[in-house]
Amino acid sequence: MSKLRKALLTLAATAALAGAFAAPAAAAPAQGATSVAPAAVTQCRVEFVSLTGTNMWHDGGRDWIWFVIDGTYFPGNFNSIPFFGGTTQTAGTFNSPTRQFSSGGSVTFQVVLDRTWPTANRVIDSNTVSCATTGSNLPLRFTDGDATYDLLYNALFV
């Protein structure tokens, strides 16, 4: 076998081997179609603004209240917040509760009365919140027919 023929066979084998391992070329879009980048995933963010004790569970007395988002108690650290009739507590008092989640999802807000052990805590009311309605200082009422608490919260896309 001549040197020239041997060199050509080696070159052909190398080219075939390289083609077998090469990355396939990207397919061109069909005529008239355009390539679109994937849409960014939108998140919903809800933020506690304030909670007002409109009517106490302990009529004429003081309620100790937790604010709960999907099972997480605020302000945390085994502390509940005191309310008298007409008292408004702001986000900072509750350690600024917020939650971010998929824009198609939702979270559950609860107002919970902290009872003296061994009496179980009492859920005043629960509400489901999403970004179906967005804005600032959105009102939400929690009541069990006796106690009533009024929440202001923000819901926005981020």
Length of the chain: 158
| CA end-to-end span of the chain | 71
Which residues is 59 bridged to in the sheet? none
| 107 located within any domain | yes
Q: Which domain holds residue 53?
A: 44-157
Chain centre to alpha carbon of residue 116? 32
How far, in Å, CA of 30 to CA of 36, rounded? 13
One digit per residue, the tens of pLDDT, for the chain of length 158 reads: 455 445 444 545 444 444 544 444 444 444 544 444 445 669 999 999 999 999 999 998 999 999 999 999 999 988 999 999 999 999 999 999 999 999 999 999 999 999 988 999 999 999 999 999 999 999 999 999 999 999 999 999 99
CATH code of the domain covering residue 80: 2.60.40
Phi–psi pair at 16, nearest 5 degrees: -65, -40
Q: How many domains does the chain have?
A: 1
In a domain, 57, yes or no: yes
The model's pTM is 0.74
Residue burial 113-140, b: 16+ Cβ < 10 Å; e: rest? bbeeeeeebeebbeeebbbeeeeeeeee
Would you say residue 139 lies in a domain?
A: yes
Report if residue 111 sits inside a domain.
Answer: yes
Question: Is 89 part of any domain?
Answer: yes
Residue 94, domain member (yes or no): yes
> Does 3 map to a domain?
no
Is the residue at 95 inside a domain? Answer: yes
